[in-house]
Amino acid sequence: MPKCIFCSELEREIIVENELAVAFLDKFPVNEGHTLVIPRRHMENFFEASMQEIEAINLLIFRVKDVLDERYKPDGYNIGINVGEDAGQTVFHLHVHVIPRYRGDVEDPRGGVRNIK
């Protein structure tokens, strides 16, 4: 099995963490503050996570929002998970994208997570 970058090469700034999950800045952000929240345990996708891990991830999403609000003052957020190659997943360690959005960052923001990448 090829090595997982989120298990082995995490050199990004950690924003917040708890016992079961970690949040860090995306290396190739689509917007300033683009953050990923992952479980510490390796699993390919959302549907393999335990309820405890989902809860730990959810708690971090709220804490990430507080930090990003303070740091970047975004006007909105997109929160999303890609599950499977056909849904756009490229890193096969579960991660939740928390993407701050800024007024005017795209011409027409309608569609939200249906359009962003």
Residues taking part in catalysis? 95
Separation between Cα atoms, residue 70 and residue 65, nearest integer Å: 8
Tokens representing residue 95 in the block: 């991660």
Stretch that binds ligand AMP, among 5-13, 37-45, 57-65, 100-108 (CB under 6 A): 5-13
Min. distance of Cβ 108 from ligand AMP in angstroms?
A: 22
Nearer to Zn ion by C-beta: 47 or 72?
Answer: 47
Using CB under 6 A as the binding rule, whether residue 26 contacts ligand AMP is answered as: yes
H-state helical runs in the chain: 5-8, 51-72
Phi, psi of 80 (to 5 degrees): -160, 160
> Residues with Cβ < 8 Å from 66, sequence gap 6 or more?
none
Min CB(51)–ligand AMP separation in Å: 22
Three-class secondary structure of residue 95 per DSSP: coil
Contacting residue, 12, 40, 41, 42, with Zn ion by CB under 5 A: 42
Residue 5 main-chain phi, psi, to 5 deg: -65, -30
Among 7, 91, 106, 113, binds ligand AMP (CB under 6 A): 91
Contact pattern from residue 59 through residue 98 relative to Zn ion, giving x for each residue in contact according to CB under 5 A and a dash for the rest: ----------------------------------x-----
Contact 34, 46 (CB under 8 A): no
Residues that bind ligand AMP (CB under 6 A): 5, 9, 12, 26-28, 36, 82, 88-91
